[in-house]
């Protein structure tokens, strides 16, 4: 609330480490504790000193509040001042940001409780599709000096102590809350089965909201995020002598279908990638061996039904498989059924398990921020297609029913899911983040209707899951909710002149559409027999979405035009 103040109002002085000024946007953001300021300036404030300059409150204020817009005047120029409870990360660098190497920067991380961390940094652009957006996803390393002779482990907020961090921009998330909500949900939903042996293990990444100034330009809210790596998951260490080790593979592309258990090709142990997977651990200076992951894929794709049912739990942890199936279907993580997921192993001879990542296209929106609407089917892949046929006692179907019943009693209800979403929304709203995102990014417009859409969407999704799980092991109508996945191959990717689409599960005459990064249809047509060749030479360079439809069947796949 902004109030006219009495005559004794003072000039407000802020700690120099706790505010930033973007003179281009005429925006001031401060995260100094407003309760402390109100105690120190009980008579209110008529002006404020910033960078040794006096700005006048218009009108004067009696009580400061986080999230409220205050108007300041300096030399007849109007500035907007906001107080926020979120940490501020100030980054200054002389070299331009690039995506192929980390470049030196100076950083200052300040929290509202008075903690300040100054450090040399290494900064680079990361991500795939997000590189095409104005607000970049960043990878931040903390260095001991400006030439990176040694990295520096730092503890940020209540997250782990580490030298390597990710800043997610959430530019394509309408309410800036999907990644944050989903990662927190996975932490609460899934506990690593080996936690007793490795009590520091996490089931995935943790994240916290911060706000960023880059070279004195306000870049808005980011999600400070831990990395998915051996340290986070506490996987076993590589050993040449014993062979005991953990494994970690990142699914970064659908490629021929290996990541979705639809295709099995040859691997090359001289390469760190294999048909959509990147080997993250063991690291590149250790031994590269794809044979163990190959054995898992071969077993799922080739084993007889009886062998599969009796032995799959030795190769893939069924508790994790159940939780991940519930998770991706509850939030409809359409782009996380193989790609944007890690496959990990705690130790040699232990079963593999899933770890989620990159969760912007969820909760009723696709990866471009467009609304799906109510989606009345479930997601699957080649592994889950086989697991869902396991309906014997203690099989996957029965485990799924038992686990869903347990979760529905507490963690997953329309009310608890709505509360998660609203909590993150209110945190951002109460700190004025949505107002500042509109100031910083011309394409962002806050819509209150987005919150209602999201909470209504998740309530519908919970009911859909109820119906499916109830009937997952019988022939009643509820089993039709499950939509078989429809693997397609596209190549080359990136494409220059022509895009080949292999689509054996789609009939001749099915429609295809190519959408740009804004969701607009750039090209459309109809499929031929088995493989359709599409002339894409006239399309502009960038990221696109290929969409195939045939009745109720639909599949989407990202590709790049070079």
CATH number at residue 471: 1.10.1070
Nearest to 176 by CA among 228, 214, 212, 139: 212
What pLDDT digit, counting tens, does each position of 280-329 carry?
Answer: 999 988 889 999 999 999 999 999 999 999 999 999 999 999 999 999 99
* pLDDT at 406 exceeding the cut of 50: yes
Instruction: Return phi, psi of residue 487, to 5°.
Output: -65, 135
* pLDDT at 400 exceeding the cut of 60: yes
Residues 221 and 109 in one domain: yes
The pLDDT score that the predictor gives to residue 475 is: 55
* pLDDT at 485 exceeding the cut of 90: no
Q: 126: domain range?
A: 88-169+200-230
Residues 38 and 107 in one domain: no
Residues 259 and 402 in one domain: yes
Cβ neighbours of 145 (radius 10 Å)? 11
Residues 389 and 303 in one domain: yes
The pLDDT score that the predictor gives to residue 486 is: 62
Q: Is residue 195 a part of any domain in this protein?
A: no
Average pLDDT over residues 505-522: 85
Q: Which of 27, 58, 83 is the last residue of a domain?
A: 83
| Number of domains the chain contains | 4
Residues 60 and 93 in one domain: no
Q: Is residue 305 a part of any domain in this protein?
A: yes
Residue 482's pLDDT band (boundaries 50, 70, 90)?
Answer: low
Residue 226's pLDDT band (boundaries 50, 70, 90)?
Answer: very high
The pLDDT score that the predictor gives to residue 481 is: 54
Residues 299 and 444 in one domain: yes
- Identify whether the C-beta of residue 318 lies closer than 8 Å to the C-beta of residue 396: yes
Q: Is residue 28 a part of any domain in this protein?
A: yes
Q: Is residue 387 a part of any domain in this protein?
A: yes
Residues 35 and 69 in one domain: yes
CA–CA separation, 138 vs 115, rounded Å?
23
Average pLDDT over residues 332-354: 95
The pLDDT score that the predictor gives to residue 47 is: 96
Q: Is residue 191 a part of any domain in this protein?
A: no
pTM of the model: 0.87
Residues 438 and 399 in one domain: yes
The pLDDT score that the predictor gives to residue 484 is: 53
CA–CA separation, 467 vs 480, rounded Å?
10
Burial of residue 279, with CB atoms counted within 10 A of its CB: 0-12 exposed, 13-18 middle, 19 or more buried = buried
Residues 533 and 455 in one domain: no
CA–CA separation, 186 vs 353, rounded Å?
14
Peptide bond connecting 494 to the previous residue in cis, omega within 30 degrees of 0: yes
Count of all residues that appear for the chain in the document: 562
Q: What phi-psi label fits residue 239: left (phi over 0), alpha (psi between -120 and 50 degrees) or beta?
A: beta
Burial of residue 458, with CB atoms counted within 10 A of its CB: 0-12 exposed, 13-18 middle, 19 or more buried = buried
Task: Using a pLDDT cut of 90, give the percent of the chain over it.
Answer: 74
* pLDDT at 250 exceeding the cut of 70: yes
Of 67-76, 113-122, 367-376, 419-428, which range is least confident? 367-376
Residues 93 and 26 in one domain: no
Residue 487's pLDDT band (boundaries 50, 70, 90)?
Answer: low
Across 163-167, 258-262, 366-370, the highest mean pLDDT is recorded for 163-167
Residues 315 and 417 in one domain: yes
Q: Is residue 187 a part of any domain in this protein?
A: no
- Identify whether the C-beta of residue 161 lies closer than 8 Å to the C-beta of residue 153: yes
* pLDDT at 550 exceeding the cut of 60: yes
Residue 4's pLDDT band (boundaries 50, 70, 90)?
Answer: very low
Task: Using a pLDDT cut of 70, give the percent of the chain over it.
Answer: 95
| Mean of pLDDT over the chain | 91
CATH number at residue 521: 2.60.40.1220
Q: Which of 447, 481, 515 is the last residue of a domain?
A: 481
Residues 445 and 547 in one domain: no
Q: Is residue 194 a part of any domain in this protein?
A: no
Q: Is residue 182 a part of any domain in this protein?
A: no
Average pLDDT over residues 489-515: 83
Of 35-49, 127-141, 422-436, which range is least confident? 127-141
Question: Under 8 Å CB-to-CB from 405, ≥6 apart: which residues?
Answer: none
Q: Which of 463, 481, 499 is the last residue of a domain?
A: 481
* pLDDT at 45 exceeding the cut of 90: yes
Residue 476's pLDDT band (boundaries 50, 70, 90)?
Answer: very low
The pLDDT score that the predictor gives to residue 112 is: 95
Nearest to 228 by CA among 186, 256, 260: 186
**359: three-class secondary structure by DSSP:** coil
Nearest to 421 by CA among 456, 461, 462, 446: 456
């Amino acid at each position: 609330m902004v109030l006219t103040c009495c005559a004794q109002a003072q000039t407000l002085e802020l700690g120099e480490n706790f505010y930033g000024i973007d003179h281009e946007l005429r925006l001031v953001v401060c995260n100094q504790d407003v309760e402390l300021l109100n105690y120190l300036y009980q008579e209110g404030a008529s002006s404020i000193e910033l960078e040794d300059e006096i700005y006048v409150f218009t009108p004067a204020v009696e009580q400061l509040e986080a999230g409220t817009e205050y108007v300041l005047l300096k030399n007849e120029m109007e500035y907007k001042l906001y107080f926020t409870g979120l940490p501020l990360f100030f980054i200054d660098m002389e070299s331009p940001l690039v995506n192929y190497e980390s470049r030196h920067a100076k950083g200052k991380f300040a929290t509202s409780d008075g903690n300040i961390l100054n450090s040399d940094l290494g900064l680079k652009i990361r991500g795939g599709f997000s590189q095409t957006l104005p607000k970049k996803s960043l990878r931040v390393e903390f260095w001991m000096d400006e030439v990176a002779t040694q990295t520096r482990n730092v503890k940020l907020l209540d997250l782990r102590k580490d030298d390597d961090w990710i800043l997610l921009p959430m530019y394509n998330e309408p309410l800036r809350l999907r990644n944050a909500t989903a990662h927190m949900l996975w932490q609460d939903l899934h506990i690593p089965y080996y936690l007793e042996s490795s009590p520091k293990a996490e089931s995935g990444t943790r994240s916290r909201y911060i706000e960023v100034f880059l070279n004195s330009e306000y870049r808005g809210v980011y999600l400070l995020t831990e990395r998915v790596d051996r340290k986070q998951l506490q996987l076993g260490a590589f050993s040449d002598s014993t062979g005991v080790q953990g494994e970690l593979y990142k699914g970064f592309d659908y490629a021929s279908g290996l990541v979705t258990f639809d295709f099995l090709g040859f691997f090359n142990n001289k390469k760190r990638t294999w048909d959509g997977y990147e080997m993250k651990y063991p690291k590149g200076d250790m031994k590269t061996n794809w044979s163990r992951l190959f054995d898992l894929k071969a077993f799922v794709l080739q084993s007889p039904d009886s062998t599969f049912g009796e032995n799959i739990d030795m190769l893939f942890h069924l508790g994790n498989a159940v939780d991940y199936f519930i998770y991706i279907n509850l939030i409809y993580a359409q782009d996380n059924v193989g790609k944007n997921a890690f496959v990990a192993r705690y130790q040699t001879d232990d079963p593999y398990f899933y770890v989620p990542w990159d969760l912007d296209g969820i909760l009723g929106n696709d990866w471009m921020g467009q609304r799906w609407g109510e989606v009345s089917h479930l997601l699957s892949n080649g592994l889950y297609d086989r697991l869902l046929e396991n309906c014997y006692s203690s099989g996957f179907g029965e485990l799924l029913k038992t686990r869903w019943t347990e979760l529905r009693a507490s963690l997953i209800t329309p009310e608890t899911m709505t509360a998660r979403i609203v909590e993150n929304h209110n945190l951002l709203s109460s700190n004025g983040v949505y107002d500042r995102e509109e100031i910083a990014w011309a394409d962002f417009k806050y819509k209150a209707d987005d919150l209602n859409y999201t909470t209504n969407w998740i309530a519908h999704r919970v009911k859909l899951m109820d119906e499916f799980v109830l009937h997952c092991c019988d022939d009643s109508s509820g089993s039709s909710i499950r939509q078989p996945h429809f693997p397609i191959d596209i190549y080359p990717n990136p494409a220059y002149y022509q895009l080949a689409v292999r689509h054996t599960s789609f009939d001749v005459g099915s429609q295809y559409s190519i959408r740009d990064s804004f969701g607009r249809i750039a090209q459309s047509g109809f499929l031929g027999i088995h493989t359709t060749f599409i002339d894409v030479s006239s399309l502009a360079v960038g990221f696109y979405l290929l969409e195939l439809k045939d009745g109720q069947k639909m599949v989407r796949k990202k590709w790049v035009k070079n």
